[in-house]
Amino acid sequence: MNLALFDLDNTLLAGDSDVEWPRFLIAQGALDADHYNRENDRFYADYKAGTLDIYAFLDFQLAPLAAHSREQLDAWHRQYLDSHIRPIITAKGRALVQQHQANGDCVVIITATNRFITGPIAAELGVAHLIATEAEVGADGRYTGKPLGTPCFQDGKITRLNAWLAERGQTLGDFPRSWFYSDSRNDIPLLEQVSDPVAVDPDDALRSHAQAYGWPVISLR
């Protein structure tokens, strides 16, 4: 069996679920548009530049989860999936996932975006295995607004992947081939660990790196 790892945002999606979620909440009147858009734009610029303070961002990003009941969040997520996510799932992305599954590969989505947002998206894509940033849940079953464990971001993706594989009694070296598909410079550390790194609609930094090292560059748009 081989291993096929997929980033989610701007890879399988023609957009960013972390950006679309607050847009949805703003439309519901659950967030102040001016404040949230300003701060989100600032963090997103840092992300694209490779300078994001992931813990500061998670404090900002996870705060709305703590402000509402799980029932309300789940109800909103069903609407969000239908209105904001299904339209940006790329047909080529779905087909590539299905191709790897048909080949008998172990398919995993590995994403910096938290599990609350991405869990239903992975299910929509038919992917059973998800490695994502975890959001802490309190004794009352509500989100606390804080991350749990190592964020699945930059080098943290390697840490989280290795931990996931160890739980299965495996290592990355156990797979004859391992693919990782991503769009982002932030994923270069993990791309360098697999046998088959693939840049997907990459940002400028990843495109330059891929070209320098002879990695394939593809588009799923």
pLDDT at 84 over 90: yes
CA distances from 92 to 77, 127, 153, 219 (A): 24, 15, 25, 9
pLDDT for the residue numbered 47: 82
pLDDT for the residue numbered 39: 87
Angle at 202 between CA 197 and CA 206, to 5 degrees: 65
Domains by residue range for the chain, with CATH: 3-218 (3.40.50.1000)
What is the value of pTM for the model shown? Answer: 0.95
**Closest of 183, 170, 186, 173 to residue 215, by C-alpha:** 183
Q: Give the mean model confidence (pLDDT) for residues 99-108.
A: 98
pLDDT for the residue numbered 169: 98
Q: Tens of pLDDT along 145-202?
A: 999 999 999 999 999 999 999 999 999 999 999 999 999 999 999 999 999 999 999 9
For the chain, counts of helices (H) and of strands (E): 9, 7
Q: Give the three-class secondary structure for 48.
A: helix
Q: How far is Cα 145 from Cα 64, in angstroms, rounded to an integer?
A: 7
Catalytic residues: 7, 9
Q: Tens of pLDDT along 14-67?
A: 999 998 999 999 999 999 888 888 888 888 888 888 898 999 999 999 999 999
